[in-house]
């Protein structure tokens, strides 16, 4: 039932259990889009008023007024794929701007000889719309229930970054979430709502790391790495793609194929290679 619920919609109930259904949400949406296009190509019909109609999506699922023109104005002319964020960290995207800010603050602290054991507190400004996803309930976020649960814990993610210096796939293993030193540092984390009124995914980030000797190190970033205004470099993209624990030679070939996908007459050969990556 829990998995079936995600087929019905992108539900966030997984946050309460640490279950992994969230990771199939984009795939389900993409699959549904392809199926709809295929059905239309074979003569199936659907209501053109599916968005704004009496029994359409807006009236069925929301009681807010909707500016339909703002949603459909550029439909078929402007492709939103150019706004997609490629995540540098294998954690919830809403955490990324704070992780970037924490990295900036920690670089200053390390330049002054600080170690993670010197940290007395970590304070972050977090977008209001992100709080109930990555910060609350706070006691649960300090000690994630599962490895997937840890991906949606800002206190835990920041702490493992400061202790290890980096965040990768192994940071969110079942063994890693049992690390007492990460939990101990996460308990020193606190947050306040930011004054950012834009979209949470495009929010700015600020982190203050305080040490027992009285120093404070502040990291501020305008937006998270990987978004439209702050793209990952080709080297960063390569490192992310090749660092997935798969066949390195095959992954290298696939990465090169993807970089030149516009030169390929079909995607069948690339798809076949991707299917072999495990």
Q: Are residues 209 and 106 in the same domain?
A: yes
State which of 83, 118, 148 marks the end of a domain.
83
**Is residue 117 assigned to a domain?**
yes
Q: Are residues 6 and 122 in the same domain?
A: no
Q: Are residues 143 and 179 in the same domain?
A: yes
pLDDT one-digit tens code per residue, 64-94: 888 888 878 888 888 888 888 899 999 999 9
Position 2 scores a pLDDT of 87
Q: Is the Cα dihedral 139, 145, 151, 157 positive or negative?
A: positive
Is residue 176 classed as helix, strand or coil in its secondary structure? helix
Distance CA 224, CA 71 (A): 25
Note whether 242 and 121 are within 8 A (CB).
Answer: no
Q: Are residues 58 and 100 in the same domain?
A: no
Distance CA 270, CA 263 (A): 12
Counting residues of the chain whose pLDDT is more than 70, the rounded percentage is 100
Angle between helices 248-259 and 268-276 (to 10 degrees): 150
pLDDT one-digit tens code per residue, 211-231: 999 999 999 999 999 988 889
CATH number (domain holding residue 204): 3.30.1330.120
pLDDT, the chain, mean: 92
Q: Tell me which residue range forms the domain holding 69.
A: 2-83
Q: Are residues 213 and 146 in the same domain?
A: yes
Position 177 scores a pLDDT of 92
Is residue 218 classed as helix, strand or coil in its secondary structure? strand
Distance CA 103, CA 128 (A): 21
Distance CA 260, CA 258 (A): 5
Distance CA 197, CA 191 (A): 17
pLDDT one-digit tens code per residue, 263-278: 888 889 899 998 888 7
Could you read off the pLDDT tens digit of each residue along the chain, which spans 278 residues?
A: 888 888 887 788 888 888 888 888 989 999 999 999 999 999 999 999 998 899 998 888 888 888 888 878 888 888 888 888 899 999 999 999 999 999 999 999 999 999 999 999 999 999 999 999 999 999 999 999 999 999 999 999 999 999 999 998 899 999 999 999 999 999 999 999 998 888 999 999 999 999 999 999 999 999 999 988 889 999 999 988 888 767 899 999 999 999 999 888 888 989 999 888 87
Q: Are residues 120 and 161 in the same domain?
A: yes
Q: Are residues 136 and 214 in the same domain?
A: yes
Domain count, the chain: 3
Q: Are residues 216 and 242 in the same domain?
A: no
Using alpha carbons, list the distances in angstroms from residue 48 to 29, 39, 41, 75: 19, 15, 16, 14
Q: For residues 125-135, b (16+ Cβ closer than 10 Å) or e, as one string?
A: bbbebbbebbb
């Amino acid at each position: 039932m829990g998995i079936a619920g995600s087929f019905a919609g992108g539900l966030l109930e997984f946050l309460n259990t640490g279950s992994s259904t969230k990771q199939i949400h984009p795939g389900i949406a993409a699959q549904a889009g392809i199926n709809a296009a295929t059905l239309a190509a074979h003569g199936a019909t659907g209501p053109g008023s599916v968005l704004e109609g009496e029994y359409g999506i807006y009236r069925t699922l929301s009681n807010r007024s909707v500016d339909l023109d703002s949603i459909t104005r550029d439909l078929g002319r402007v492709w939103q794929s150019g706004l997609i964020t490629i995540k540098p960290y294998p954690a919830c995207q809403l955490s990324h701007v704070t992780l970037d800010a924490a990295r900036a603050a920690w670089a200053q602290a390390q330049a002054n000889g600080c170690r993670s054991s010197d940290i007395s507190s970590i304070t972050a400004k977090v977008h209001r719309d992100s709080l109930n996803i990555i910060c609350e309930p706070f006691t649960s976020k300090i000690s994630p229930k599962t490895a997937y649960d840890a991906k949606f814990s800002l206190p835990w993610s920041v702490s493992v970054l400061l202790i290890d210096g980096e965040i990768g796939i192994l940071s969110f293993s079942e063994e890693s979430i049992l690390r007492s030193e990460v939990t101990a540092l996460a308990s020193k984390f606190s947050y306040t709502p930011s004054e950012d009124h834009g979209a949470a995914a495009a929010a700015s980030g600020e982190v203050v790391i305080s040490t027992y000797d009285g120093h404070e190190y502040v990291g501020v970033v305008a937006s998270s790495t990987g978004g439209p205004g702050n793209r990952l470099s080709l080297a960063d993209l390569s490192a992310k793609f090749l660092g997935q624990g798969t066949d390195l030679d095959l992954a290298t070939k696939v990465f090169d194929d993807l970089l030149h996908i516009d030169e390929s007459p079909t995607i069948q050969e690339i798809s076949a290679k991707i299917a072999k990556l495990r």
